[in-house]
């Protein structure tokens, strides 16, 4: 399988990514047990299909260690010179507190050791409490580490527009912000996307498939009981659907998406991903990978053959017009975490 050139995006200097990024929250332990050997074998399968970019975090269980194991085996079997084919983006999610140079550098070095890299491709920083302005201290130290070569590019995750603007005003250069973005959650369109386009920042999006709820599997099904939602993702995004407009409206959305998918020879998931990929400022969509457990490589590849037309967008908008305003219900991007 070879993905088309349109599957790649220049996220930053010397950093081209696949626009569907393999998400590794699913190895954190809240989505079923992961066998490390099977997981690494699945990582080779993703890579060989063209899905070469990975999103992980310091707190996603063994995710950084799995990247390290994958890189070690990749170098052994295919040569260290080809390691540049792999893009791995981690996150640092510290508890608020003193952000000294030592605290920051220790965290970066730990991720580098676990991932077996000399330099992090992309370090995405998250901060829980805006009232504690020491996130600016952390970002300044991270900028120094970038200049010293320990980090290639600096980014953010789940910052709202106001605090992203504050970071930019302090002269801290970030290349992307990772935010929740889907047909259900379109909050980035209200403020975030315009700000990012104005300042040369892109968006990496997660939650685009609502943990698997945005799929044919749930079309025509009665509202699932909590006991049926057996992963952290399903529980999280069912709550998002409830806030957005409820299960009945969600069924109308799935039905509309199924008609569009049938028209194009695609899947509901393909339509959901394509919609977000086409939105302003979006560089890539993160699609969760339950490595060694489920396989969606072929289906994900179909996204790059799909083009939504005006009639498709009109059908989608007709359903979304009945939804609640999540900016009013929740707030700006990332506010659900604070």
Q: What are the structural domain ranges in the chain?
A: 13-212+271-307
pLDDT band at 61 (very low <50, low <70, confident <90, very high): very high
According to CATH, the topology of domain 13-212+271-307 is: TIM Barrel (3.20.20)
DSSP state at residue 95: P
Q: What is the pLDDT of residues 146-165, one digit of tens each?
A: 999 999 999 999 999 999 99
pLDDT over 70 (residue 62): yes
- The pLDDT of 49-66, averaged and rounded, is 96
Cα–Cα dist 200/12, whole Å: 10
> Within 10 A of 195 (CB to CB), how many other CB atoms are there?
17
- Reference 174, options 39, 12, 33, 332; nearest CA is 12
Q: What is the pLDDT of residues 177-196, one digit of tens each?
A: 999 999 999 999 999 999 99
**pLDDT for the residue 28:** 81
- Reference 253, options 310, 210, 282; nearest CA is 210
- The pLDDT of 304-329, averaged and rounded, is 98
**pLDDT for the residue 293:** 72
pLDDT over 90 (residue 47): yes
pLDDT over 90 (residue 26): no
Cα–Cα dist 244/256, whole Å: 17
Q: Exposure pattern of 8-35 as b/e (b: 16+ CB <10 Å)?
A: bbebbeebebbbbbbbbbbbbeebeebe
Between 26 and 276, where is the model more confident? 276
Tell me the range of 26-40, 180-194, 282-296 where mean pLDDT is highest.
180-194
- The pLDDT of 83-111, averaged and rounded, is 97
pLDDT band at 229 (very low <50, low <70, confident <90, very high): very high
pLDDT over 90 (residue 258): yes
pLDDT band at 29 (very low <50, low <70, confident <90, very high): confident
* Burial of 228 (C-beta count, 10 Å sphere; 0-12/13-18/19+): exposed
- Comparing 32-41, 196-205, 238-247, 273-282, which segment has the lowest mean pLDDT? 32-41
- The pLDDT of 112-116, averaged and rounded, is 98
Cα–Cα dist 63/40, whole Å: 11
**pLDDT for the residue 101:** 98
**First and final CA of the chain: distance in angstroms?**
42
pLDDT over 70 (residue 1): no
As a whole number, the mean pLDDT across the chain is: 96
**pLDDT for the residue 230:** 86
């Amino acid at each position: 399988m070879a993905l088309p050139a349109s599957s790649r995006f220049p996220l930053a200097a010397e950093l081209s990514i696949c626009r569907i990024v393999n998400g590794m929250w699913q190895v954190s332990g809240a989505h079923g047990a992961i066998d490390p050997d099977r997981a690494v074998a699945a990582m080779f399968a993703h890579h060989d299909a063209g899905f070469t970019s990975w999103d992980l975090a310091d707190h996603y269980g063994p995710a950084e260690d799995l990247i390290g194991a994958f890189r070690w085996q990749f170098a052994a079997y295919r040569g260290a010179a080809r390691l540049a084919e792999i893009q791995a983006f981690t996150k640092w999610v510290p508890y608020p507190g003193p952000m000294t140079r030592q605290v920051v550098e220790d965290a970066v070095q730990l991720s580098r050791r676990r991932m077996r890299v000399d330099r992090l491709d992309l370090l995405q920083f998250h901060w829980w409490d805006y009232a504690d302005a020491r996130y600016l201290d952390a970002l300044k130290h991270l900028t120094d580490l970038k200049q010293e070569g320990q980090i290639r590019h600096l980014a953010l995750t789940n910052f709202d527009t106001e605090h992203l603007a504050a970071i930019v005003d302090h002269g801290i250069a970030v290349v992307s912000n990772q935010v929740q973005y889907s047909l259900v959650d379109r909050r980035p369109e209200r403020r975030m996307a315009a700000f990012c386009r104005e300042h040369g920042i892109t968006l990496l999006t997660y939650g685009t498939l609502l943990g698997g709820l945005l799929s044919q599997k749930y079309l025509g099904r009665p509202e699932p009981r909590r006991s049926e939602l057996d992963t952290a993702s399903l529980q999280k995004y069912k709550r998002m659907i409830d806030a957005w407009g409820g299960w009945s409206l969600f069924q109308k959305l799935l039905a509309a998406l199924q008609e569009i998918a049938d028209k194009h020879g695609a899947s509901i998931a393909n339509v959901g991903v394509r919609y977000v990929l086409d939105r302003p400022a979006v560089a890539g969509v993160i699609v969760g990978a339950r490595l060694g457990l489920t396989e969606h490589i072929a289906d994900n590849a179909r996204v790059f053959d799909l083009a939504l037309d005006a009639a498709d967008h009109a059908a989608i908008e007709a359903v979304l017009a009945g939804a609640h305003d999540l900016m009013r219900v929740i707030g700006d991007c990332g506010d659900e975490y604070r």
